[in-house]
Amino acid sequence: MNLAGKHILVGISGGIAAYKIPELIRLLKKAGADVQVTTTKNALEFVTSLTLQTVSGHKVYSDVFAAINEHSTEHISLPDWADLMIIAPATANVLGKMAHGIADDALTTTFAAMRKPVVIAPAMNDKMYLSPATQQAINTLSEWDNITMLDCADGPLACGTTGKGRMQEIDVLAAAVEYALTPKTLEGKHILITAGPTQEAIDPVRYISNASTGKMGYALVRACLNRGAEVTLVSGPTHLSLKAWQAFCPLNVVDVVSSADMCNAATKAFTQADIAILCAAVADFTPCHTADKKIKKQELSIGNSQLSIELKTTTDIAATLGASKQAHQRLIGFALETHDEHANAERKLQTKNLDMIVLNSLQDKGAGFGVDTNKVTLLYANGAKKDLPLLLKQEVADTIIDSI
């Protein structure tokens, strides 16, 4: 997350989840944002003004008529300063006020003057959440163009019960801030992305795979979701997660294991896609036969210490999708090469009917598998070429999406 130069206004109302907000402020500042805080007076029963001032580096605006306010109209100057406001937790009381234009404290008067993006994270008892008045307030606010409304999460509540009413976790709030600040240039588009490695089974416990971690593909998913696209991710086995974005974005994750699984899932999803980005490191070869039991050393013939595994080529997913590509669709591939990089990438670009291919080489320091950076060259079907410097993979992903 890169929020360098952004001004974020954090609004806190009087719910127990307020104690988590200093951690959110810390994350936002770590990402480069300047953060100021406004609260209701009840919020300061759960988290102190001193704590919020310490983590934000600014005094806290909690009283419309306080003599220490820098401006007599703080509720106007703060919205003018901010690029985005996030209200977390948003209690039933505050939701009702905001939905009906009631502005009688520092938080609600500030919100009433806010015309820029606002993220709202409700939190309350499950019975209060299900109240018709609360649901009506949430629905009303959700219809406003500048608001990203998060749903409550399920789980243990402060009152001792379990149900829907918890504030979303801090990683979800941070993701929602990033999402709300990004122009929705891909709104209405459906994008297919493949990511991660595949595993080709030798027997029930062994497989052929590669060192892909999925980081580049998952960064591309974030870039597309932030721009408002509906995304289908076909992912091979990886430890990565996009649960924070799934809390509020139209993301469909299809988990697969083998190259055949990935090919089937990608082919099916491509029929509905406007753009497909094939970032997965798909195995080129798979065993001709998979043993139904673990292969034991003792089963080798006496004196034989070698085992031969017969391999066959896998289905080329890029070529398969390229053959069925329609005029309105765009198909982007990836090429990780160890030699003759440009020649190999250009051959793939032409033979697989791609519109663009992203070339990265294992010869480049800081690029390739398992690292947070990448150095790539974008090659286009019209012969154009664009070299990118070494960047964080999220920065590479953003540049790729901007270039499509």
Q: 193 is written with which tokens?
A: 């992305």
Strands 311-313 vs 285-287: parallel, antiparallel or unpaired: antiparallel
Cβ contacts of 96-102, under 8 Å, gap ≥ 24: 96/133, 96/134, 96/137, 98/137, 98/141, 99/136, 99/137, 99/138, 99/140, 99/141, 100/137
Query: Cα–Cα distances in Å, from 383 out to 239, 277, 347, 402?
Result: 37, 19, 12, 18
3-class SS of residue 307: coil
Q: 183 is written with which tokens?
A: 């122009």
Cβ contacts of 236-239, under 8 Å, gap ≥ 24: 236/194, 236/195, 236/196, 236/197, 236/198, 236/199, 236/212, 236/262, 236/280, 236/281, 236/282, 237/196, 237/197, 237/199, 238/195, 238/196, 238/197, 238/212, 238/213, 238/214, 239/213
Find the helix packing angle between 393-403 and 215-226, rounded to 10°.
Answer: 50
Q: How far apart, in whole angstroms, are the C-alpha atoms of residue 254 and residue 68?
A: 54
- The single residue of 152, 159, 224, 279 carrying the catalytic annotation is 159
Contacts of 290 (CB under 8 A, 6+ apart): 201, 202, 203
Whether 159 is catalytic is yes
CB atoms near residue 298 (< 10 Å) = 5
Half-sphere exposure in the Cβ direction for 41 (13 Å, CA): 6
- Catalytically annotated residues: 159
